[in-house]
Amino acid sequence: MTETLPSQKLTLETIVALAKRRGFVFPTSAIYGGLANSYDYGPAGVQLLKNIKDLWWNEFITGRTDMVGLDSQILLHPRTWEASGHVTAFNDPLVEDNVSHKRYRADHLIKTWVDKQLAKNPTDPKWLEFSVEDLKIEEMGAFITEHQLLSPDGNPVSAPKAFNLLFETSIGTVTGEKSKVYLRGETAQGIFSNFKQITDSTRVKLPFGVGQIGKSFRNEITTGQFVFRTLEFEQGEIEYFFDPETNDWAKIMAGWKDSMWAFATETLKIKSANLRWRQHTDKERSHYSKDTFDLDYNYPFGWGELWGVAYRTDYDLKQHMEFSGQSLEYVDPVTNRRFIPHVIEPAVGISRLFLMVLCDAYRFDEVKNRVVLELAPKLAPYQLAVFPLVKNKPELTAKAEEIFQKLRKTWRCTWDERGNIGKRYLSQDEVGTPICLTVDYQSLEDGTVTLRDRSTADQVRLPVDQLESHLRSVLS
C-alpha cells in the first residue's frame, strides 16, 4: 500500500474538488452564484455527517451513565444572550480595506503577517513567542499601524472595530409588532437555561453532563476555509456539571481531554500526529474561565481549532439566575446543601470533525494512480457497492439485485451499473466505500461473487451464503 500524503501536502482545493465531485459538499445556492461561507451536504456528505453525529451521540450520551441529551431551540428568549454576554462581547475585530471595502479579521491579518516573518527567520525570538490571541483590539490597531500591515489586496486598512457575530431576526406575533431575537451563536446556552427542568424531571445527580447536537449561527466574515468556518454549522456541546467542593475540576478536565482524544483517534481513526493540544494563555482565556484547551487538527491550511474544552466555573448559571430571577441552584440529595454547580464544557463543530475526517482519510495511490478515501467502515457513506459485471444482461442484473436487496437490510449499500467495472471501482474508492461486490458469469454457475477491497484493491471470491459473516468481520 502506498503512503498517505502528509496533510501539509494535501491542499484544501483538492479536498473541495473531491467533495464536490463525489457528492460530499456543494456550494450553497450554486445556481445563483453561491453564498459566502455556506455549503450544502450532498448525498454522500449528509450520510458521513450523520455517521459522525451518531458516533458522537453514542459515545458521549447513550454510552455513558452520567450523561443525558437535549434538543433546545435555535431561537431562545433574547435575554439569554444578554445573560451569556454574547450581545455585548461576542465580537470579532474587523478591519476594512480602504480601497475595495472588503472586510477582514484583524487577528487573522496579524497572524498571517507574523507567520511570514517566521517563515523568513524561524528562530526569531521576537515572533516565536508571539500570540495574537493576547492582543486587545486597540493593541491590534497599534500593531497594524506600526508594521504597516496591508489587506490581501495590498491596500491600507481601517482601524479594527468590534463586530458582533450574532445574527438578528424578529418574531411578530401581532401584525406590525415585532420583537428582536437572535439565531443562537452556540448550543450551550439552551443547556444552561434548561438546567433546572432537567434536574427536576430526571434522576441525574452531580457530577453529570448534558449534551446536544444542533445548528448554531455566526456572522463570520473570514472566507476561504470551506466547512471549517461557515455562517451556519452544527455543534456538539456538552456541559458537565459538578460540585466544586467535592469534585476535583482538574481531574474532570483531564478525563474529558482523554475522551476527546480517544474519540478522534480511536473512534474516528484520526492519525495522532495530526492532532495537538494547545492551552489558552492567561490573556486569551475568557475572564470567567479557569483553564481552556483547544484540540487542534493539522488542516491543509495549518493547525486549526477542532474542539475546545473550558472550565467555565459557575459563570453561566449565575448569570442566568441574575437575568431570569430564578434559582438555578442544585440541592445535594444527601446533605441538602444548596449551591451553584461548576461546569466543564467540551464543544466541537461537527463540520470541523467532518473536514478532519475527509483530510485524514485522503490518500493518493501513486502505484494505481487513484484517489482513495480510507474511511473507517462505520464512517463510510456506503459500506458496500454492488455491481452486475455488465449492464443489459438481465440474468446478471437479477442476481445482483437480489443480493443488493438482501444486504441493504444490514449494510449501507449503493448500486452501480454504469460504464466499465474499473471506473466504478475508482469512483467508489473516492467515496470511501470499503468493499465492492461484483456479480459475474461465474456467479450464475457456482453462486460465488467477487469482493474487492478498497485499500489494497485485492479481490477474493466468496460463496453468497458466506457473505454475511464475512462482511460482519471486515466491516465492523
Note whether 292 binds ligand ATP by CB under 6 A: no
Nearest distance in Å: CB 373, ligand ATP: 21
Note whether 110 binds ligand ATP by CB under 6 A: no
Nearest distance in Å: CB 233, ligand ATP: 4
Q: How many residues bind ligand ATP (CB under 6 A)?
A: 16
* Cell, residue 317: 448559571
Note whether 220 binds ligand ATP by CB under 6 A: yes
Task: Collect all residues with Cβ–Cβ distance below 8 Å to 270 and sequence separation of at least 6.
Answer: 264, 297, 356, 357, 360
Q: How far apart are CA 412 and CA 432, in angstroms?
A: 12
- Contact letters for ligand ATP, residues 173-212 (x by CB under 6 A): -------------x--------------------------
CB environment 199-228: b (16+ within 10 A), e (fewer)? beeeebebbbbbbbbbebbbbbbbeebbbb
Of 124, 159, 155, give the one whose Cα is nearest residue 139: 159
Choice between 216 and 383, CB closer to ligand ATP: 216
* Cell, residue 280: 489558552
Please answer whether residues 347 and 316 qualify as being in contact, where contact means their C-beta atoms are separated by less than 8 angstroms: no
Q: Binding segment for ligand ATP among 225-233, 243-251, 322-330, 390-398 (CB under 6 A)?
A: 225-233
- Contact letters for ligand ATP, residues 134-173 (x by CB under 6 A): ----------------------------------------
Note whether 84 binds ligand ATP by CB under 6 A: no
Q: What is the DSSP string of 53-97?
A: HHHHHIIIIIT-TTEEE----SB--THHHHHHTHHHH-EEEEEEB
Which residue in 94, 348, 400, 437 binds ligand ATP (CB under 6 A)?
Answer: 348
Which residue in 243, 305, 314, 401 binds ligand ATP (CB under 6 A)?
Answer: 305
Choice between 113 and 233, CB closer to ligand ATP: 233
Q: Is 425 exposed, middle or buried (0-12, 13-18, 19+ CB in 10 A)?
A: buried
Note whether 233 binds ligand ATP by CB under 6 A: yes
Choice between 144 and 213, CB closer to ligand ATP: 213
Note whether 280 binds ligand ATP by CB under 6 A: no
Which residue in 351, 397, 433, 450 binds ligand ATP (CB under 6 A)?
Answer: 351
Closest chain position to ligand ATP (CB): 349
CA 127 to chain centre: 30
Strand, coil or helix: what is 263?
A: helix
Q: Is 279 exposed, middle or buried (0-12, 13-18, 19+ CB in 10 A)?
A: exposed
Q: Is 282 exposed, middle or buried (0-12, 13-18, 19+ CB in 10 A)?
A: exposed
Note whether 352 binds ligand ATP by CB under 6 A: yes
Note whether 308 binds ligand ATP by CB under 6 A: yes
Choice between 294 and 416, CB closer to ligand ATP: 294
Residues 145, 225, 227, 133: is their CA dihedral positive or negative? negative
Please answer whether residues 191 and 237 qualify as being in contact, where contact means their C-beta atoms are separated by less than 8 angstroms: yes
Note whether 307 binds ligand ATP by CB under 6 A: yes
Applying CB under 6 A, the residues found at the interface with ligand ATP are 186, 218, 220, 229-230, 233, 235, 305-308, 347-349, 351-352
